[in-house]
Amino acid sequence: MSRPIVFENVSILGEQQAHLVIDGGEIDEIVTDGHVNTPAGAIVINAEGLIALPGLVDLHTHLREPGREDAETIESGSRSAARGGFTAVHAMANTTPVADTAGVVEQVWSRGREVGLVDVFPVGAVTVGLGGTQLSEMGAMANSRARVRVFSDDGKCVHDPVIMRRALEYAKTFDAVIAQHAQDPRLTEGAQMHEGIVSAELGLAGWPAVAEESIIARDVLLAGHVGSRLHVCHVSTAGSVEIIRWAKSRGIKVTAEVMPHHLLLTDESVRGYDPRFKVNPPLRTQEDVDAVRAGLADGTIDIVATDHAPHPDEDKDCEWGAAAMGMIGLETALGIVQKTMVDSGLLTWAQVAQALSTVPAQIGRVDDVHGRPLAKGEPANIVLVDPQDNWTVDPSATASRSNNSPFGGVELPGRAVATFLRGVPTHLAARFEGAFA
Amino acid sequence: MKHLLTTKDLSREDAIRILDTAGQMAATQEREIRKLPTLRGKTVVNLFFEDSTRTRISFEAAAKRLSADVINFSAKGSSVSKGESLKDTALTLQAMGADAVVVRHWASGAAERLATSGWIHGSVLNAGDGTHQHPTQALLDAYTMRRHLVESPGAAGLDGLRVAIVGDILHSRVAGSNGYLLNTLGAKVSLVAPPTLLPVGITARPELEVFYTLDDALDAHEYDAIMMLRVQRERMTGGGAAFFPSPEEYSRMYGLDAARMARLPEHAIVMHPGPMNRGLEISAEAADSPRSVIVEQVSNGVAVRMAALYLLLAGEEAAA
């Protein structure tokens, strides 16, 4: 049995100061009146200035295993997630083989348990081999030990409207959600970056905003028609935010996520043709950045997810047209959210807890264990954030097996300094290592 | 100048220096012995990831007439079958001691990537990157216009001239480079294309006037030069691309024929970067007319490329 831990003077959700005691994998006590009975043998942490949030939950992670262990493994990805403050990640289905059978999702799930740094929840493919034509056996995956509740062909769009409709309907059987990668394939053939002023200048084939928006518009109408849950992956345009806002006002069961890079970067970064800025959907304009920030602030966009997408060096150390799309992001997500949303006054820390923990856990139907309130008797899945730990991103220092971060050299205002999964530390900043030795 | 990657960042002063140097180079080509010793001992590599015999032999002739050693490196590679990576190819060239790399690549930005990645130390000369830029083509076009349309070409720009560029602007690195360079040199540019063949972001460039038909463009202005761009037939209508309905309709609306030639001022010149599709974007009558400078563009290309190589490789002494 691990020792009890007492966090003294920690700020709960950035609000009330308290002493927080965890023991036996649960929150044992939260004392707000100033006096705490330190249990015998407890580890006592001076947490003054630190914020306690429920452990973060990523609804959109690429762990690459099985198949591309040169880019990431479940172990290295889990370690990177824990460092970023996450206690749960949803592993996307576009592995090799594709996670479209109970066998593959159980393999991913059990490897995640074995590693034990975060809870790994596999996402199942909507269609066999991400081929877009035949539904995968969702029932087998939902009823497997992995208990899949999120299905997605992420990386590819379920573009056939009939297949999408059937998937939405069928998923109701398991109270599951279809997470759509909204990208009209015909409108984005050969697309290299956001279509606009910069693409015209750089001579790169454009990825128009309408290719995302038209699919989202269709899908919210379909979801409304059949009464199913739709989740929109990586919302990147102002128009998408408008459509989702409209759909929610009509009572359609749609949720949406935004990526940290779409909160911070624009297509101006593509000048110079550095493939670290190549991502799908692409970096958009400042107007879009402002719109997704506003959408996240007013709740139109429900959550922040990372779309952590590791790629080995050779897939980025090349010309733009030959480079892979995607960027790692587990360790920088929280700092970017603080920089763009908290320090700018758009979100409180309590709202950050909603967007990065509570709501993604609910969407993924893992809210029995994750995204729980910080209260007595709840599982001790907790992240401590130091909002004043200003740091400069060094991509080579990541725990990920890949280092394709676009944020090298960027200063972030804060970060996770300790993460606990069921009371066990999965990440500790150097300052705490002594206490836990 | 260390590299020549794009005309966007080329100052008016540098552009005119290249054109003036090209004039001097052209003059030496009238002599009995055309070879100059200027780049003796320098190695120029023509690195072509895309077939372009015309551009390659133009650069090869330019380098050889300056007495440089020329290595032709044809690296087959496409986005589908990558083959050897740009990085490994570059490291190989670096190991061989290339002083300048003339690069043609299917990927936009490949030349810039080569110049800024640290893979090689020599000069990089962009000989066409994807649908981005082809700076020496724009320079040879400007050189040709200056010779025909400016009274005393030495040290002059193209101030006040009006140029129409007609055709596939969307995929054209020639149009990409000409748009910036002509503007820098003081010319006014009209782009003429069906809306399907214009980049969506082009409206953000107020210096470029846009026309959707050639007749509208000819109604609006008197042009000093008209530049017809090559239309890649198979790319335009095949595979659901639908950029325009048919080659016949394109030819009717955007082709330069005798009737449209007659609407140009007497002094106007007809240009084409080649290779031409006779009967599609340009009629034989227009291509072979006395006002056509299409063949001369080719010979001017050698002079301009000599100038560019000279200024990049012997640049410091040359500037002094």
- Give the per-residue pLDDT at B241: 84
Residue B2 domain flag: no
SS3 for chain A is CCCCEEEEEEEECCCCEEEEEEECCEEEEEECCCCCCCCCCCEEEECCCCEEEECEEEEEECCCCCCCCCCCCHHHHHHHHHHCCEEEEEECCCCCCCCCCHHHHHHHHHHHHHHCCCEEEECECCEHHHCCCCECCHHHHHCCCCCCCEECCCCCCCCCHHHHHHHHHHHHHHCCEEEECCCCCHHHCCCCEECCHHHHHHCCCEECHHHHHHHHHHHHHHHHHHCCCEEECCCCCHHHHHHHHHHHHCCCCEEEEECHHHHHCCHHHHCCCCHHHCCCCCCCCHHHHHHHHHHHHHCCCCEECCCECCCCHHHCCCCHHHCCCCECCCCCHHHHHHHHHHCCCCCCHHHHHHHHHHHHHHHCCCCCCCCCCCCCCCECCEEEEECCCCEECCHHHCCCCCCCCCCCCCEECCEEEEEEECCEEEEECHHHHHHHC
CA–CA separation, A389 and A430 (whole Å): 13
- Give the per-residue pLDDT at B77: 55
Q: Do B200 and A203 touch (CB under 8 A)?
A: no
Statement to judge: residues B243 and B193 lie in one domain: yes
Phi and psi at residue A37, to the nearest 5°:
-85, 100
B127, pLDDT greater than 70 = yes
Residue B5 domain flag: no
Q: Check CB contact of A397 with chain B, cutoff 8 Å.
A: no
- Give the per-residue pLDDT at A58: 98
Residue B316's pLDDT band (cuts 50, 70, 90): low
- Give the per-residue pLDDT at A165: 98
Statement to judge: residues B268 and B159 lie in one domain: yes
Q: Check CB contact of A205 with chain B, cutoff 8 Å.
A: yes
**Sign of the alpha-carbon dihedral angle for B116, B118, B120, B122:** positive
Statement to judge: residues B102 and B183 lie in one domain: no
A 25-54 residues with CB < 8 A to B? none
Residue B284 domain flag: yes
What digits encode the pLDDT tens for the residues B257-266?
999 999 999 9
User: What does DSSP say about strands A51-54 and A43-46: parallel, antiparallel, or unpaired?
Assistant: unpaired
Percentage of the residues of chain A whose pLDDT score is greater than 90: 96
Q: Quick one: average pLDDT of A359-373?
A: 98
Statement to judge: residues B85 and B140 lie in one domain: no
Residue B7 domain flag: no
A25-39, A200-214, A252-266: lowest mean pLDDT where?
A25-39
Statement to judge: residues B94 and B159 lie in one domain: no
Statement to judge: residues B101 and B221 lie in one domain: no
- Give the per-residue pLDDT at B317: 55
- Give the per-residue pLDDT at A168: 98
What is the domain-level CATH number for residue B96?
3.40.50.1370
Statement to judge: residues B237 and B305 lie in one domain: no
Q: Do B200 and A202 touch (CB under 8 A)?
A: no
B81, pLDDT greater than 60 = no
What digits encode the pLDDT tens for the residues B20-49?
999 999 999 888 888 999 999 999 999 999
Give contacts of B133 with chain A, Cβ < 8 Å. Answer: 203
Q: Beta strands of B81-240 (E only): which ranges?
A: 100-105, 123-129, 162-166, 188-192, 208-211, 225-228
A233, pLDDT greater than 80 = yes
Closest residue in chain A to residue B133, using alpha carbons only: A203
B82, pLDDT greater than 60 = no
Percentage of the residues of chain A whose pLDDT score is greater than 70: 100
| A195, A203, A204 member nearest B200 (Cβ) | A195
- Give the per-residue pLDDT at B80: 44
Q: Check CB contact of A186 with chain B, cutoff 8 Å.
A: yes
What digits encode the pLDDT tens for the residues A279-337?
999 999 999 999 999 999 999 999 999 999 999 999 999 999 999 999 999 999 999 99
Statement to judge: residues B186 and B289 lie in one domain: yes
Q: Do B240 and A201 touch (CB under 8 A)?
A: no
Residue B3 domain flag: no
3-state secondary structure of B246: coil
Q: Check CB contact of A204 with chain B, cutoff 8 Å.
A: yes
- Give the per-residue pLDDT at B237: 78
| B107, B205, B240 member nearest A321 (Cβ) | B107
Catalytic residues of B: 54-55, 82, 104, 134
Residue B1 domain flag: no
Q: ipTM score of the complex?
A: 0.91
| Catalytic residue (choose from A58, A100, A307, A315) | A307
Statement to judge: residues B210 and B145 lie in one domain: yes
What distance in Å separates residue A318's CA from the closest CA in chain B? 6
- Give the per-residue pLDDT at B79: 45
Residue B162 domain flag: yes
* Domains and their CATH numbers in chain A: 5-52+378-436 (2.30.40.10), 55-363 (3.20.20.140)
Q: Do B132 and A199 touch (CB under 8 A)?
A: no
Q: Which of these, A257, A250, A347, A262, lies nearest to A300 by C-alpha position?
A: A257
Statement to judge: residues B80 and B194 lie in one domain: no
Q: Quick one: average pLDDT of B73-102?
A: 80
Statement to judge: residues B225 and B106 lie in one domain: no
Q: Do A273 and B108 touch (CB under 8 A)?
A: yes
- What does pTM read for this prediction? 0.94
Residue B196 domain flag: yes
What distance in Å separates residue A199's CA from the closest CA in chain B? 7
Residue B83's pLDDT band (cuts 50, 70, 90): low
What distance in Å separates residue A277's CA from the closest CA in chain B? 13
Q: Do B130 and A203 touch (CB under 8 A)?
A: yes
List the structure tokens of A57: 């939950």
Q: Do A200 and B87 touch (CB under 8 A)?
A: no
Q: How many domains does chain B have?
A: 2
Q: How many CB pairs under 8 A join A and B?
A: 78
- Give the per-residue pLDDT at B1: 86
- Give the per-residue pLDDT at A395: 97
Identify whether A307 is a catalytic site residue. Answer: yes
A41, pLDDT greater than 70 = yes
Statement to judge: residues B144 and B272 lie in one domain: yes
Residue A78's pLDDT band (cuts 50, 70, 90): very high
Q: Quick one: average pLDDT of B65-94?
A: 80
Helix (H) or strand (E) holding A242: helix A238-249
Domain hosting B233: range is 135-294
